[in-house]
Amino acid sequence: MLEEVGNAVTHGIGAGLAIAGFVLLLLKSDTGLKVMASCFYGISLILMFLMSCLYHSYKSGLAVKRIWRRFDYSSIYLLIGGTFAPMYLVYWENVLGIVLFCVQWALIIAGITIICVFGPGRFRPIHYTLYFVIGWSAIMFIPDWFRNDKPLLGWIVGGGIVYTLGMIPFVKDTKGMHFIWHIFVMLGAALHWFGMYLYVY
């Protein structure tokens, strides 16, 4: 019970910080495409933390908790897609970026549909694989980052490494591990946000 309180509180704080971060990104968005990217990114970040907070706020065994669990796992897909939005729509800002953005969101919608229909417990290896593959598709940006934006490369790859390392306690799912996963998520999200705010907008 105490661990679930910690899980809810950490991502409740994360939701509050995500709202503040969303506002700051909007203030730097001086084009329609930047506003669109900020909305995808900011709202997905808020939803991810909020869904997680609400899921962990309910007692185990309740039917409503099982519903929120689907939302919680689905929001991971949303965050991955939302985080890429500024990269595809603002950093690249070309037809290829828009096409890849649409392809990625088609995969995300497919993953979310599987969760909503079958629940997050079934086909779990598929979800873990999609989280990893979609998330690390960021490697396609590395040549551009290395040539033009080495600091951005550090922020984004650093955040990706933190998220990936966080998958270790997430997959183990033993006592106390989920709380550690939440800390990794907050750190990874912070690294990505600072990279976006400082070097993409």
Sign of CA dihedral 14, 159, 97, 150: positive
Average pLDDT (103-114) is 90
Residue 56 annotated as lining a ligand binding site: yes
What's 148's domain CATH number?
A: 1.20.1070
Which amino acid, residue 198?
A: L
Query: How many separate domains does the chain show?
Result: 1
**Domain range for residue 69?**
2-200
**Tokens 């690249």 identify what position?**
92
pLDDT digits 0-9 by tens, 139-189 = 888 787 778 788 888 999 899 899 989 988 888 777 888 899 999 999 999
Selection from 65, 3, 22, 52 nearest residue 186 by Cα:
52
pLDDT digits 0-9 by tens, 39-82 = 999 999 999 999 999 988 887 777 788 888 898 889 889 999 99
Q: Which pLDDT score, from 0 to 100, does residue 41 have? A: 95
Most confident among 17-31, 101-115, 120-134 (mean pLDDT): 17-31
Residue 192 annotated as lining a ligand binding site: no
pLDDT digits 0-9 by tens, 110-150 = 999 999 899 877 888 888 888 888 888 878 887 877 787 88
Residue 178 annotated as lining a ligand binding site: yes
